[in-house]
Amino acid sequence: MKSAVESLDPTKVKLTVEIEPEDLKPALARAYKEIAGQISVPGFRPGKVPAVIIDRRIGRGAVIEQAINDSMTQWYREALKEHELKPMAQAQVDLSRRPDPAAAEPDFEFTATVEIRPEVVIPDLAKVKIQVGPANAGEAEVDQLVDSLRERFASLRTVDRPAKDGDFVSIDLKAEIDGEEIDSVSGISYQLGAGNMLDGLDEALDGLSAEEVTTFDSPLAGGPRAGEQALVTVKLGGVKERELPPADDEFAELASEFDTIAELRDSLRRTADRQAERDQIVEAQDKLIDHLLETLDFAAPAGVVQSDAEARLERDGKPKDDEAELERYKADSAKAIRTELLMDALVAHLQVKADQTELIRFMAPMALRYGLEPADFVRAAVESGELPHFYAELTRNKAAVEALKAITVEDAEGQIVDVKSRLAAPAADPVADQLAEDLAGRDGDLAVDGDIAADALIEEVDIDLESLALGDEEP
């Protein structure tokens, strides 16, 4: 087999592959054997029909065609490997020279036009400097945490006034399209400003009093006509406001292990400081990725961007022929794809790998979050071919951490941020850590259960990590 590659643009190549007679012979032998087992010829046992009889029955051209179809992927992948190309989409394959069925030793040539991963050259990370904001939380951040804790112990009381942001209301809803009632619900509880129901609902409720009715236009959020514009009628049943307990010593005893509000605030201050330090790391990571995306010259394959943008448009229920919207989606897709390419380049540059234990520990909490048994979740990922995506996400996360350790991070005052120490395991502060989890809305039990589930799975599930490398797209 001979192959040559022609660069059409930085992310697209044309492979020309010549399959010589000695390359085609094994494929032809396999095709004859398979066909011999499929046809019945008087005087010959199944599977023992000679090639010359098969040629007379179905034609040698058909045999050659089957041989090519069965082996095309193999030849394509061998050509990719020879030229160290990594495809990002399916190839467009054409027979540039067809085989001659009459030839004793036929050969042929095909071309494969394919979009490939661009070369992303990672610079010397030790020379990269990123500046982040301050890490010390102020009294405003502590006040916010105290208020968040007070909200957990708040009570609701009915008020006789128009609804405003933050109020809890009881509402009836009815949706109509062209005068036809599509859906209706009654007695729904909703917090004004939550923004998790219908577009325009918050604006319609703001200033509305009990028993008042108003209408607004909104796309339906669910059901068989999801996405269609409907006329929504909303009736406000009642208004309740949240009443927070005073932030005093009594509240500190009720809400925590502390006897005084001063002790509680000190604990929350430690929580706020640690969160500010974590925010610094997150900010540093985001700025590092943005810096590399801005300074490194590589493009996302145009065809991959187009396909991704069209898929996103379809998922969002928007027409593909809206050129302005498509261009906006293409910009988002291009950035997302470039970011993935960058992270994969960091994985390769930093030689980041993950073992089976890390992968299972990474996946177990996800399974619990979806309400699935971790073992079933992992097996489903294996069977569906999704496991490489989880492995890629895990190694990208690890690469981001290693990259942060390699660069210089400074705060606004020019002080060096000790990223390595921050990324190490922090000293235990059980009370403050529990408050941090509660106030941030995290499920601490989920993390614990995930660890337990992962421990149970590590010996049960055997994952072939070698198979999780970036695969080649078939033609």
Helix, strand, coil percentages, rounded to 5, for the chain: 50, 20, 35
Fold of 255-468: Trigger factor, domain 2 (1.10.3120)
CATH 3.30.70.1050 fits 2-115, yes or no: yes
Range in 21-25, 180-184, 349-353, 358-362 the model is least confident about? 358-362
Place of tokens 């895990």: 394
Question: In whole angstroms, what is the distance from residue 315 CA to residue 331 CA?
Answer: 17
> Domain spans of the chain?
2-115, 155-243, 255-468
Rounded (5°) CA angle 410-412-416 = 25
Q: Which residues fall within 8 angstroms of residue 192, CB to CB, at 6 or more apart?
A: 163, 164, 165, 166, 167, 168, 169, 202, 205, 206
Confidence of residue 176 (pLDDT cuts 50, 70, 90): very high
Through-space distance between the first and last CA atoms of the chain, rounded to whole angstroms: 17
Place of tokens 């494929």: 27
Q: Which residues fall within 8 angstroms of residue 43, CB to CB, at 6 or more apart?
A: none
Which of 53, 93, 101, 54 shows the shortest CA–CA distance to 75? Answer: 93
Question: In whole angstroms, what is the distance from residue 467 CA to residue 119 CA?
Answer: 23
Which of 382, 366, 352, 389 shows the shortest CA–CA distance to 461? Answer: 382
CB 376 within 8 A of CB 369: no
Q: For the chain, how many helices (H) and strands (E)?
A: 15, 11
Question: In whole angstroms, what is the distance from residue 143 CA to residue 63 CA?
Answer: 78
Place of tokens 């010589």: 20
CATH 3.40.50.300 fits 155-243, yes or no: no
Specify the higher pLDDT residue, 454 or 14.
14
Within 10 Å of residue 445's Cβ, how many Cβ atoms?
10
Reading the block at residue 439, the tokens are 């106030």
- pTM beyond 0.85: no
Above 90 in pLDDT, residue 319? no
Residue range 253-277, pLDDT digits in tens: 999 999 999 999 999 998 888 888 8
